[in-house]
Amino acid sequence: MTYFPEEVLEHIFDFLSSHLDRNAVSLVCKSWFRVERWSRRRVFIGNCYAVSPERLIARFPRVRALTLKGKPHFADFNLVPHDWGGFVSPWIEAMTKSYPGLEELRLKRMVVSDDSLELLSRSFPNFKSLVLVSCEGFTTDGLAAIAANCKHLLELDLQENEVDDSRGQWLSCFPDSCTSLVSLNFACLKGEVNLVALERLVARCPNLRSLRLNRSVNLDTLRKILMQAPQLVDLGTGSYVHHPNSEAYVKLINVVKSYKSVRSLSGFLEVAPRCLPSIYPICLNLTSLNLSYAPGIQSTQLIKLIHHCRNLQRLWILDCIGDKGLGVVASSCKELQELRVFPSDPHGVGNAAVTEEGLVAISMGCPKLHSLLYFCQQMTNAALITVAKNCPNFTRFRLCILDPKKPDPVTLQPLDEGFGAIVQSCKGLRRLSLSGLLTDRVFLYIGVYAEQLEMLSVAFAGEGDKGMLYVLNGCKNLRKLEIMDGPFGDVALLMDVGKYETMRSLWMSSCEVTLGGCKALASKMPMINVEIINENDQMEENPDDGMKVEKLYLYRTLDGSRRDAPDFVWTL
Amino acid sequence: MSPLLLGVGEEGQTDITLLASSASTDSICQNGSGLKERNYMGLSDCSSVDSSAVSSLSEEKKNNLNLKATELRLGLPGSQSPERDPEIFLMSSAKLDEKPLFPLLPSNDGFCPLSQKIVVSGNKRVFSDAMDGFSEVRSSVFTEGNWLFPTAGPDSETAQSVTQGKFPVSSGINVMLPSKPTPNSGVKSISLKENSGAQPATMKEIVPPKVLQERPRAANETSHNHRSAANNNSSAPAAKAQVVGWPPVRSFRKNTLAVTSRNNDEVDGKPGPGTLFIKVSMDGAPYLRKVDLRTYTAYQELSSALEKMFSCFTIGQCGSHGVPGKEILSESKLRDLLHGSEYVLTYEDKDGDWMLVGDVPWEMFIDSCKRMRIMKSSDAIGLVLTSGKRLTVNTALETPREQELASVNRKIAFRPAIQMGNNPWQGGKTQEGNQVKSREESGHLRTGGASRGLDAHLIM
């Protein structure tokens, strides 16, 4: 493999965008390893405790873009205590010395302090892009530092972060010299923003393509912004409330009418449904529509709106659309590839929820559908079998029946056969979430058929250890397995401990695993961190090995047990 | 929950007192969630419930007193008074289905002992019944069982067998899970097993919920099964809320939506985020209702919803029909009544003036309506004003001056309250064609048109 000079190899490697490909390339020979090492610009780390910052820097000395993930996925659903960890500060501190050329940082489920943001903003002169998803720990002060100090900022994207709003002036901190913004998303901020500063910022950024506002930005400001930025492709509105007869509203209609560039629309955090017809003129252009944060739009208005959106590829919506509305989606949106239906009442009772009827309609009307998240009231085996037949291209199939352990309401059978049909016909399935009444049989199907499955989420399913073993033995590509409330115990956990080295992580909460089992696993596998989350002092000083472990999180790591673990996290 | 539900509920009493012993276990469970709901309702509606709430409470008490009397009077064999042998209590509760267990979940706080004393409470029983009417039909597979159950029979022995016959659903699930059978065979085997009176088993089954009570996420298999059974019961929202991490919705999303939907009160089963709640009173009705105007898109929808809510009072016999299906009947009766112009629907606008509903375009109505009153039309005469003139809908109101004019105009305008199936503003049809005049003309009619308006009203 020495036919090419290293410069040529490096040039060729530049065309490999997937980090999986680059990983593979680096394994070919020492020379390729070396070339790849020096030319790697982007790194993805799926678990910030799997490797230390120092090791990253030693391995890839010239990284420009880093993606880091922190807490386990179930942290989204309040299953991980608040101060569990996932701090970004050691990473930023390490990178300040070694990566002066860092341009991009993407963080998910991490704890980000204002100090970290401040340090970030001052340490990397070419810093261009900050994306924070489901992060916490910072305030608008940190954002102000980013705004003020990152002179070449292209992208500031804040998605679903819990941000404390100390004051609303952070937007004013963008200096007048800041004209480079391409993407600005602050929809998750709760507080006021300086509307004048916002208008001026938008006006001086000619390359702005994506703008998502929070609910404090009113319709009148939106109109002014739209007039100044006719090039927006991705728009998230804030408050969309106005009197339909007012002057401002009529003006808005005229602005929107001539607004042809928008392809992606979201927001409507506050909405007066009668203002919605104003966006009908641009609906035909839309390929992406996210109304999942717009509970103010009722079913009838949603349906009218959807009628106009004939080119949608991605639709996120609340379940108040109803089965009838999904029928309209099915008949209108022939290009649909991704659908997410969220519960409008996530706290449980579920009044408006959709059912198998809507899903079947979608599967018949939208043959290109390949990604689904569907919160529903009920589901039948027959429906799932039909869906599997109609849409064999699913790569992500996440079904959540709001009542856990609910059987097929028609036959009262478990939903094993339905999910079995999904995994059998969707050969490319990479992500699967199960719900409803399920026996071990469904895991047998998954183990046998879901060859490409990378992530499996299980809740309230199965009958015993066998179920989990089917999955562990069967799914060759499994990277993440997360289980809540399952009957799986030590037998399943310990049967094939080698498997965990091929996986990123395993989460088990409210299962049958015991402390002794976890200890045995930890002693066998030094490269695996076995962490127990012991809240409420359920375990005393010298707990019995037979004691059930409430929450188990295990992951492979090169870094040994973590040093920042709080008291309630025990690393065995 | 609305007072109306209570109203409907009270009718159920007769059923309930007949339930006797076997039902009591069931009604305990209803109490757990039922009490909570009632409190919630009382809070949210406290200003409007007033007398009716009190009366329903006293009803409840009466019920409790009634209970024993009823039992004795009926002299049902095998019926089970509160101080009955606990073993039998346990047996029956486990056999009937899981329902008696789930109330233990939400009621960490003394609801349980309380409800055991109450044992039969028409209110609670009824509450779930009323909920059924208003909640999704879909979810009624289990609730149906719930509702039918009380009628199963007072005799506890027969009640059990009847239940098993009637509700393979819940009992099927109950036994199916722990014993890992194929679901098909589950039902039969249960009844056999349970009939043989396996006391130890039933005892065992009834223990875990207590564990659950202390630690909702107790990790043992039986408790899961119990929990699941509880959750299968759609009339138990409180039990569902106990499951940490479920449904798997990002907490950010939950919080955000919770902020937006300040008021989760519901009308016609629709959730009410971005709501606009308005109180509606009716002459002669003992309580007010709240409706969310945002859930309606036209006068027609609003009026039919109001009909449903208040029909019992126009019929004057609300006690006799609790079944939701019968509303159709009363609805049409109300329609007749309304057409016979016994009642008019009026509203108070932002300026404090009482107007007839339907006199302005729907959107404008939503903006200005502060509350509504269904008046006897005889009372409305003095109130409803003056002119028969007003603007047409299609007139665009662009300048503030025009809007002001419009608002004046609509106050002197007049319409019969509810025109069934015909939105006057969309159809462009009006009963009094002569009302639709030019804007210039109408601006000056406040006093001049008074007599004509009165005429029109009398015609109605």
- pLDDT at residue B384 is higher than 90: no
Of A340-344, B114-118, B238-242, B283-287, the poorest mean pLDDT is in B114-118
**Local confidence band at A448 (pLDDT 50, 70, 90 cut-offs):** very high
- pLDDT at residue A112 is higher than 90: yes
Number of domains in chain A: 2
- CA dihedral for A366, A370, A372, A377, sign (positive or negative): positive
The amino acid sitting at A319 is D
Q: What is the pLDDT of residue A537?
A: 62
Q: Average pLDDT for residues A439-443, to the nearest whole number?
A: 95
Please, which residues 61-120 of chain A have a Cβ atom closer than 8 Å to chain B?
74, 76-79
Q: What is the pLDDT of residue A347?
A: 64
Please give the residue range of the domain that contains residue A30.
Answer: 1-40
- CA dihedral for B432, B437, B443, B444, sign (positive or negative): negative
The alpha carbon of residue A14 and the mean position of all alpha carbons in its chain are separated, in whole angstroms, by 27
- SS3 readout for A461-510: CCCCHHHHHHHHHHCCCCCEEEEECCCCEHHHHHHCHHHHHCCCEEEEEC
Q: What is the pLDDT of residue A393?
A: 94
**Local confidence band at B62 (pLDDT 50, 70, 90 cut-offs):** very low
- Give me the CATH number covering residue A487: 3.80.10.10
Q: What is the pLDDT of residue B391?
A: 30
pLDDT, tens only, A543-563: 788 888 999 999 999 999 999
- pLDDT at residue B432 is higher than 60: no
Proportion of chain B above pLDDT 70, given as a percent: 19
Residue in chain B lying closest to A341 (CA): B249
Q: How many residues does chain A have?
A: 572
Q: Average pLDDT for residues A465-485, to the nearest whole number?
A: 94
A346–B247 CB contact, under 8 Å:
yes
The pTM of this model reads 0.62
Q: What is the pLDDT of residue B93?
A: 40
3-state helix, strand, coil split of chain B in percent (to 5) is 60, 5, 35
Residue B190 CB coordination number (10 Å): 21
B367–A243 CB contact, under 8 Å:
yes
Residue B428 CB coordination number (10 Å): 11
A348–B257 CB contact, under 8 Å:
no
Output DSSP code: residue A15: T
Residue A287 lies in a domain: no
**Local confidence band at B297 (pLDDT 50, 70, 90 cut-offs):** confident
Q: Is A515 on the interface with B (CB under 8 A)?
A: no
Residue A152 lies in a domain: no
The whole-angstrom distance between B239's CA and the closest CA on chain A is 9
- pLDDT at residue B382 is higher than 90: no
- pLDDT at residue B198 is higher than 70: no
- pLDDT at residue B77 is higher than 80: no
Q: Average pLDDT for residues A342-353, to the nearest whole number?
A: 70
Please, which residues 322-341 of chain A have a Cβ atom closer than 8 Å to chain B?
none
The amino acid sitting at A48 is C
Q: Average pLDDT for residues A269-292, to the nearest whole number?
A: 91
Please report which helix (H) or strand (E) contains residue A66, including its range. strand A65-69
Q: What is the pLDDT of residue B257?
A: 79
Phi, psi of A393 (to 5 degrees): -95, 10
The whole-angstrom distance between A29's CA and the closest CA on chain B is 44
Q: Is A509 on the interface with B (CB under 8 A)?
A: yes
Per the prediction, chain B carries an average pLDDT of 48
**Local confidence band at A538 (pLDDT 50, 70, 90 cut-offs):** low
Question: Nearest by CB to A271, which of B251, B254, B274?
Answer: B274
Chain A residues in contact with B252 (beta carbon < 8 A): 76, 134, 160-162, 188
Q: Are B13 and B122 in contact (CB under 8 A)?
A: yes
Mutate to test the interface with A, among B175, B177, B260, B267 (most CBs of A within 10 A): B260
Q: What is the pLDDT of residue A352?
A: 62
pLDDT, tens only, A176-214: 999 999 999 999 998 888 999 999 999 999 999 999 999
- pLDDT at residue A241 is higher than 90: no
Q: What is the pLDDT of residue A49?
A: 95
Q: Average pLDDT for residues A446-462, to the nearest whole number?
A: 95
Residues 6 or more apart whose Cβ sits within 8 Å of residue B303 = B345, B357, B418, B420
- pLDDT at residue B244 is higher than 60: yes
Of B110, B80, B75, the residue nearest B93 (C-alpha): B80
Please report which helix (H) or strand (E) contains residue A19, including its range. helix A19-26
Of A87-101, A133-147, A355-369, B299-313, the poorest mean pLDDT is in B299-313
B138–A344 CB contact, under 8 Å:
no
A404–B243 CB contact, under 8 Å:
yes
In total, the C-beta contacts within 8 angstroms joining chain A to chain B are: 183
- pLDDT at residue A368 is higher than 80: yes
- Give me the CATH number covering residue A34: 1.20.1280.50
Residue A558 lies in a domain: yes
Residue in chain B lying closest to A487 (CA): B221
- pLDDT at residue B389 is higher than 60: no
A550–B217 CB contact, under 8 Å:
yes
Of B401, B412, B437, the residue nearest B360 (C-alpha): B412
A295–B138 CB contact, under 8 Å:
no
Residue A481 lies in a domain: yes
Of A406-410, A434-438, B116-120, B257-261, the poorest mean pLDDT is in B116-120
Mutate to test the interface with B, among A132, A163, A216, A245 (most CBs of B within 10 A): A245
Residue A24 lies in a domain: yes
**Local confidence band at A511 (pLDDT 50, 70, 90 cut-offs):** very high
The whole-angstrom distance between A137's CA and the closest CA on chain B is 14
The alpha carbon of residue A285 and the mean position of all alpha carbons in its chain are separated, in whole angstroms, by 26
> Could you tell me the two tokens for B92?
């029956």
Chain A residues in contact with B271 (beta carbon < 8 A): 295, 320, 344-345, 351-352
Please report which helix (H) or strand (E) contains residue A433, including its range. strand A431-433
Q: What is the pLDDT of residue B252?
A: 87
Chain A residues in contact with B250 (beta carbon < 8 A): 76-77, 134, 160
Provide the strand spans (E) within A127-167: 129-133, 136-139, 155-159, 162-164
Angle between helices B111-118 and B3-44 (to 10 degrees): 150
**Local confidence band at B404 (pLDDT 50, 70, 90 cut-offs):** low
Distance (Å, whole) CA B234 – CA B251: 23
B237–A348 CB contact, under 8 Å:
yes
Output DSSP code: residue A73: G
A299–B169 CB contact, under 8 Å:
no
Per the prediction, chain A carries an average pLDDT of 92
A378–B139 CB contact, under 8 Å:
yes
The strand pairing partners of A554, in sequence order, are A506, A530
- CA dihedral for A29, A34, A40, A44, sign (positive or negative): positive
Phi, psi of B82 (to 5 degrees): -55, -35
- pLDDT at residue B293 is higher than 60: yes
Residue A567 lies in a domain: yes
Q: Average pLDDT for residues A213-232, to the nearest whole number?
A: 91
Q: What is the pLDDT of residue A155?
A: 96
Q: Average pLDDT for residues A94-98, to the nearest whole number?
A: 94
| ipTM of the complex as predicted | 0.87
Distance (Å, whole) CA B338 – CA B347: 16
| CATH for the stretch B277-315+329-382 | 3.10.20.90
The strand pairing partners of A162, in sequence order, are A136
Q: Average pLDDT for residues B80-85, to the nearest whole number?
A: 41
Residues 6 or more apart whose Cβ sits within 8 Å of residue B444 = none
**Local confidence band at A17 (pLDDT 50, 70, 90 cut-offs):** confident
pLDDT, tens only, A376-407: 989 999 999 999 999 999 999 999 998 888 99
- pLDDT at residue A436 is higher than 80: yes
